[in-house]
Structure formats: structure tokens, C-alpha cells
Amino acid sequence: MKPMTLCSSLLAVAGLSFAATAQAADAPNLSNSEFQQCLNTLKNSAQFRGISDSTFERYRPSAPDPSVIQSLNYQPEFQKDVWDYLSSLVDKERVEDGIRAKQQWSGVLRQINSRYGVKPEHILGVWGVESNFGQTLGKKPLFESLATLSCFDRRQSYFRGEFANALKIVQNGDINASDMTGSWAGAFGQTQFMPSTFLELAVDFDGDGRRDLVNSVPDALASTANFLAKRGYKSGEPWGYEVKLPSGYWAASNRKDKKSMSHWRDQGLTLANGSPLPYDLSSAGLLLPAGKDGPAFLVGKNFDTFYSYNASESYALAIAHLSDLITREDSSKTDFITAWPTDDPGISRQESKDIQQALLNAGYDIGAVDGIIGDNTRNAIKDYQSSHGIFPADGRAGKKFYNQIVGQNKPVASTTNDRIGQLIQQQSPKANATQSYPSTTYPSRSQITQPAAKVGNVRYRREAGADGVVRLVRVDEGQ
Ligand code: CA
């Protein structure tokens, strides 16, 4: 089985939630002759005993891929808050995709449920978070990535095992070599299994004799169910609940310290809506992802099985929350009942794309509009904030910055410390017009006219273009 702590950091960096590309350090120069020598040694080592010479040579990479070493050593420059993490993983779009997937695969999900005892929405939650319901599988050639990681830098012994396992999968005929692409760390397919997890837990559910987690949705969903079942899933139990703590109550967040539901009732906890706690969890631990002032949860054994998929509590909570919203078939409200302790909440992937488009239009070269806020986008935001007098210039893509740069049909000033918004509203009453602003088009940065608000030494105006789109524009000296 894969070492979970390692994979958690690998998959988290490689996956949906964090920057997909590494910019902190340059890609290293890797010697190809050293690489080929290393592969020669590997081929004859004990770890590769089950791999035939012809299999090894057939998929032997002709050169290493330095970008995976760069990713291995990537240190995110910006720490993500839990609400930012969740708002992109559990947004309206993903809930709607999940509801559609549930309808489309209802027959298969029923069969999987009767064989493995896993609730369909829990499987859908994992599928949605892992690969966006099969839409995002990762494009890195697996043999190249794993062979490079087997021969350079840290963790070589772990990656050698995974490289051998990846070759085994192709040699067994489960997956076509051309389908062996995935994250830089080697997770692949609709369930984003590492090769060792695949060999241990993947199942053939559509009965064609192959465990194809890339092309077969029934195989992928059943393999997820098998994973959860083997990790201790309790059939019929919910993952847990959002709860409300009695006033003045304080206990540390400790998911693992499981207590009976009567214990929690005695402590005065209720469901978040105030109803009494149900008794359908055999035991539960308290999870406070943002401390006592944020949303609180009682989580049971099934939450822990989500956690075992990728050792991160925020990750498990994303699966849990997404599965609840798919169960309710309601995408209208993706927040928890208790708000996160912030006046600047996170944004959806669509809102991230809108910000990226606005930055492009403002002349920032941030690459593709992909809804993933990586270092390029964050650095552009930071620069935009500094040059527009927005405080703090922290590079974060949150709701306030979204309102500032995209200028949706909401007043810019949403809170008392939004200085620019207030100033601009005072000077530009039209900013409150109730017309609807398309979010995909923006005026160019050259459309600068009067009047302007002054923040520090920099002047701004809020500009509504002919298309009804509003944004902040810096008024340069002399204009
Ligand atoms: Ca199959």
C-alpha cells in the first residue's frame, strides 16, 4: 500500500486544489546518461523481477522529465485557507456535474452499492473531487514521470516500486500503455489511484476482463467503492454532520477521538440547524477546520475512509460536502450553515476564471484561463493589488478581489474596510446600477476617463463600459 503521508502531499500538489505547475525553482538539468545507467540497474533489480525484458525496453523512456523533479520540490508560496480550498472543490458547477452523473450512472451505482455497501453519493463525491467526474485525468506520461522520480532526487525507492507497478499494469493488459498518463507523481485514471493502489484495489466491474480505470466508468466507480470498503467503510452510516457547539463550549479539533452520539448530545451539541443529533453514527469525532468560530462537524468512520484516499482533512471534507449536496440535488447554496470566520470568502472555479480573464485583459501574462489559481495568477493579483492601492496586496483570489477586478453587479464596497470601493461609490453613484453585467467580457485598460477616486497617491475610477461591465481602472499621473 502507498505511504499515505507521502501521497497526500504529492497528490495535493498535483491535484485539483493547488498550483499545478511549479515556478518556485527552475527545472533541474538531469543527465540522460546517468538516467539510462540507472534504468539499466533498475531493470535487473529485485523490484523489477516480475517485469519482462521486452516490457521494460518497450516502455523505457528515452530521456528523463525534469519537470517532475521540479514538482517534487515545489513549495507553495501561498498557504491556502480551508474556505478557499473548499470553495473551488465544491462549487455550483461541480454539484451540477455530480447530479447529472448520478442520474446517468444510477443503474451502475445501484449495483455497486449492493455489492460493496457504499452509498452512491459517497462514490460520486470521491469521483468529483479526484477527477472532476472523469474530466481531469492528468496528462503526464506515467513511465517518464515515474522513471525520472526513480532515478533522481528524494523518494527514489518509493517511486521505483510505483514504476515497477505501472509496468506490471500494462504487462497484465489492464490498461493500454497510451492511457498511462496522470499526475506528475503517477496517480492516474478516473479515481487517481497510484499504481500500487491499482494493483491492490482496482476491480473489473463491467466484466470485460480488464480493470480499466481510465476508460470504464463502472470499473472506476466500483474500484472507488472497493477502496472505501477495504478501508473500513460502514454501510448505511452517514459520513457525519455539520453541528452547532453550545455557547462557550470548547474542545480541540480531534477527528480521531471518537465518542458516542449520546456523549455529544450530553455535551449540548446539536445539528447545525438546531435539531437534535441523530443516533445513526456508531461513533464520531469533532472536526473544527477553522477553529471554534467556523463550521463544526462530527465525523464518523466513513469520513476517515475519505481521508485515507488522500490524507488531508480539508480534502475529506470536500468529498463529504460534495456528496451531501449531490444527495440533496441542490446546487443553489454550496456554503455550510455556519459561515467561515472571514469577511472575504473563497470563490468558485468560474469566478477564478473570470479573475484570470480580467487579469489577461489588464495586460498580465498569466497563461491559460483554467480556473486554477497558481503562482502566475497570484503574482499577477499581487502586482495588480499593489499598483491599484488595494490592501493587503496578498495575491489572494477571494471574493473581495473578485468584486474589485471583475465588478459583478454588486456594489464594490461590501465591507467597511474596502476603502477603494467606498471612495468610488461615493464618487460614482452609477456604480450601484442594478443592470446585469456579463462576466466574460471586460473593457480594455485603455478606456480611461473621469471621474476618479483617490487612494493614497493613486487615483482610480470605476468604469462601466458600453457593454455594461464595470471595473476599477487606475488613472495614471498626468491624465
Ligand atoms: Ca473492465
CB 129 within 8 A of CB 323: no
Residue whose grid cell is 496578498: 394
Å from CA of 402 to ligand 1 middle = 44
Q: Over 60: is that where the pLDDT of 11 sits? A: no
Q: How far is the CA of 445 from the centre of ligand 1 (A)?
A: 53
- Residue 191 Cα, ligand 1 centroid: separation in angstroms? 14
Q: Exposed (0-12), middle (13-18) or buried (19+): which is 212, by Cβ within 10 Å? A: buried
* d(CA 146, ligand 1 centre) in Å: 25
User: Residue 296 is placed in which grid cell?
Assistant: 463544526
Distance 98 CA to ligand 1 centre (A): 22
Looking at the predicted structure, is the pLDDT value of residue 65 above 50?
Answer: yes
The band of 391, judged by pLDDT with boundaries at 50, 70 and 90, is confident
What is the C-alpha separation between 139 and 20, in angstroms, rounded? 12
CA of 56 to the centre of ligand 1 (A): 24
Q: Ligand 1 centroid vs 145 CA: distance in angstroms?
A: 26
In this structure, are residues 389 and 456 in contact, taking their beta carbons and an 8 Å threshold?
A: yes
pLDDT digits (tens, 9 = 90+) for 209-256: 999 999 999 999 999 999 999 999 999 999 999 999 999 898 899 999
User: How far is the centre of ligand 1, averaged over its atoms, from the C-alpha of 114 (Å)?
Assistant: 18
Residue 442 pLDDT greater than 80, yes or no: no
Q: Among 71-80, 270-279, 413-422, which range has the highest average pLDDT?
A: 270-279
CATH for the 9-78+126-212+221-230 domain, from 2.60.40.420, 3.40.50.20, 1.10.8.350, 3.40.50.720 = 1.10.8.350
pLDDT value for 298: 98
- Is 276 exposed, middle or buried (CB count within 10 Å of its CB: 0-12, 13-18, 19+)? exposed
Q: How far is the CA of 221 from the centre of ligand 1 (A)?
A: 11
**pLDDT-derived band at 289, boundaries 50, 70, 90:** very high
Q: What average pLDDT is seen over the chain?
A: 83
**Ligand 1 center to 213 CA (angstroms):** 8
Distance from Cα 210 to the centre of ligand 1, integer Å: 4
Domain spans of the chain, in order of start: 9-78+126-212+221-230, 349-475
In the structure, what pLDDT confidence band is assigned to residue 445 with cuts at 50, 70 and 90?
very low
How far is ligand 1, taken at its centre, from the CA of residue 211, in Å? 5
Cα–ligand 1 centroid distance for 45 (angstroms)? 31
